Structure 1
Amino acid sequence: MEASPNDRLHFGVMAFGCDHYNRRCQIRAPCCNEVFPCRHCHNESTSTLRNIYDRHELVRQDVKQVICSVCDTEQPVAQVCTNCGVNMGEYFCNICKFFDDNIEATSMPSDYRDKKVWILCNDCNDTTEVNFHIIGQKCGHCRSYNTRAVGPPVLPQ
């Protein structure tokens, strides 16, 4: 039986990553052309280089290439692998070049577990009521985290 597109998208959640993030891709650092699990791994590695002039930090927004951890395909930054169709991060920001599988796994304090908020999705422009999360709110329509809090919709009288 062939896997559904949804099964393929979520294959390997929480099975890949590093000490800093769970995600299904690595990044190619544009500053040194090396591959690292994340910018923190890059910065830790380059901060200990013998030659002080070789030490540098990665600017996350400058990342242009990622490598899928499932199929090892190098490709331009995107949430879904162009080769195997896996979601490289349940949370993805194309501006920040940030991928993470662990947003929803972060437990919420009991005071916030049932709190609802209204959000506007900056990607699909849908307004929905969702569960509040300290790290970010996921659009119920397109599943993006590129959202902002808004007031509840005003219904015509």
Structure 2
Amino acid sequence: AEENHQMDRFKVREVQCSECQAVQQAQQNCQQCQVQFGEYYCDVCHLFDKDKKQYHCQPCGICRIGPREKYFHCDKCNLCLAKDLRGNHKCVENVSRQNCPVCMEDIHTSRIGAHVLPCGHLLHKTCFDDMVRTGAYRCPLCMHSAWNMVDHWDQIDIEIAQSPMPTEYQGATVKIICNDCQAHCTVPFHVLGMKCSGCGSYNTAQEGGLIQNPQQQQQHLLSDTVAQR
């Protein structure tokens, strides 16, 4: 039968042993037949489970899969993170209370691990892996690059150097905004990408149309005149 309700485990006060049917206060072992209800038991969450090195995090308010010594609680992000991220991630206040922007499911209480993007936003680890497989390299929320793209930018540099624009577009520039450093700048136009002059990223968005230099404008006027004749 399908479940049509959710149980608030924090309000659980009594459990019934499936072996001896004794109803009793929630605890790890049956007080009558001593059968173990779970290798791990939390008397706050009333969680019974196999031993997965769980621990209860008081600030998070829930149990996490550990081991505890490999994680720390970031007070600003309001989430337990791997210790190698201590002082090595961008904090976003209460970021774990937002849903994953890829699948729109809860992150804070999910059993799926969270992946911290360079911008500080969170995705489920599985959703991040899906992004990598499909070639989506931007944060769905702020469009910041989702990982270090330096090697890819270097490759675009090479491709642009080998692919000169047609004569009528050479010297044309365009205004852009960089999704990585937020800089506004005017840079050379190229169909393969516009490189931020501030940080070198190609994760940019065009603002307005092409800006042509006076020589180009004169050439276009001459071309128009010839065409009219």
Q: Same fold (TM over 0.5)?
A: no
Larger radius of gyration: 2
**Relative to total residues, which structure has the larger helix share, 1 or 2?**
2
Could you tell me the TM-score, scaled by structure 1's length?
0.36
By relative contact order (CA 8 Å, sep 6+), the higher-ranking structure is: 1
Could you tell me the TM-score, scaled by structure 2's length?
0.26
